[in-house]
Amino acid sequence: MNENVELVLKGKEKRRPIEVDGVKVGQGFVVIAGPCSVEDEKQTIETAIAVKNAGAQMLRGGAFKPRTSPYAFQGLGLKGLKILKRAKEETGLPVVTEVMDPRDVSWVSEYADVLQIGARNMQNFSLLKEVGRSGKPVLLKRGMHSTIDEWLNSAEYILAEGNHDVILCERGIRTFEKATRNTLDISAVPVVKKLTHLPVIIDPSHAAGHAYLVPSLSLAALAAGADGLMVEVHVNPDAALSDREQSLRPDEFSKLMEKIRRLEEVIRNIHDRD
Ligand code: PEP
Ligand code: MN
């Protein structure tokens, strides 16, 4: 590990939960859920209500979408952010949303409770510096071809600007394996826990690429000691404008939340006996 990564390394700062509108990331197991993209008000609010009823503590939804093709749905931008705000008013769920451009950070911060840095932008250093000056908690995804060392260096950029509220998010890395969209690096959880005081969550949806895999990866994340999850849920996945194959239906998400609660109890018992 590069010894210049001082601020994120354990021992410099104590582990403490990151507060987002009353939700404490790094205390208990926090589940963030919602659609890949904000598509319209009905889809977003219905999904938000469904995930809230199932027990999610934060809402996710992209208004700026980093798409491989320039012709694919790019997100609703400001209109999407306004819809997210209405979904928050409706459900009380704090909002996590991606920002892709340093020029957008200050005004997107007016709508977001947590600024998401996507995998493709993990080493966009001007963006990292800008969110470091935003005063907002940041969810920093691991780049799909980044090492843990590079990921923690990116977190360091944000902390070095004075923003210590960084949540790390492992979302799978590229390997030769084609059965999954990415390979979930579950070892990243204990490795990052050993190295840094920052909370780390798992995004099973982008790791898996297929909805049927999401419950297994989610339970594995909890068992491995992750601080939470970020899961894609859509009221009607077949009609989703992005990531339809990996999005859970609300009933599937509710079942998963039930299993999470049961596994949490088992894990508490195991740790009580340590
Ligand atoms: C997303 O969360 O919708 C997203 C685009 O994720 P990633 O940056 O991990 O691909
Ligand atoms: Mn997505």
Tokens 């780390």 appear where?
200
**Helix (DSSP H) and strand (DSSP E) numbers for the chain:** 9, 10
SS3 202: strand
| Cα-to-centroid distance, 267 and ligand 2 (Å) | 29
* Residue minimizing CA distance to atom 8 of ligand 1: 118
Pick the atom of ligand 1 nearest to 120's CA: 8
| Cα-to-centroid distance, 142 and ligand 1 (Å) | 10
pLDDT digits (tens, 9 = 90+) for 95-137: 999 999 999 999 999 999 999 999 999 999 999 999 999 999 9
pLDDT digits (tens, 9 = 90+) for 210-242: 999 999 999 999 999 999 999 999 999 999 999
| Cα-to-centroid distance, 242 and ligand 2 (Å) | 6
* Residue minimizing CA distance to atom 3 of ligand 1: 36
Q: How far is CA 258 from the centre of its chain?
A: 20
Q: Is the pLDDT of residue 11 over 90?
A: no
* Residue minimizing CA distance to atom 6 of ligand 1: 118
pLDDT digits (tens, 9 = 90+) for 23-73: 999 999 999 999 999 999 999 999 999 999 999 999 999 999 999 999 999
Q: Is the pLDDT of residue 1 over 80?
A: no
| Cα-to-centroid distance, 241 and ligand 2 (Å) | 10
Tokens 């579950």 appear where?
186
Q: Which of 38, 141, 245 best tests ligand 1's pocket when mutated (most atoms within 8 Å of CB)?
A: 141
In the chain, the domains with their CATH numbers are 31-273 (3.20.20.70)
The two structure tokens encoding residue 31: 């589940």
- Over the chain, what is the mean pLDDT? 97
Output the pLDDT for position 179.
Answer: 98
* Residue minimizing CA distance to atom 10 of ligand 1: 119
216-222 long-range contacts (CB < 8 A, ≥24 apart) are: 217/184, 218/256, 218/260, 219/259, 219/260, 219/263, 220/184, 220/186, 221/186, 221/189, 222/29, 222/260, 222/263, 222/264, 222/267
Distance CA 140, CA 257 (A): 24
* Residue minimizing CA distance to atom 1 of ligand 1: 36
Pocket residues for ligand 1 (CB within 6 Å)?
Answer: 36, 62, 66, 118-120, 141, 171, 203, 206
**Burial of 106: CB neighbours in 10 Å, binned 0-12, 13-18, 19+:** middle
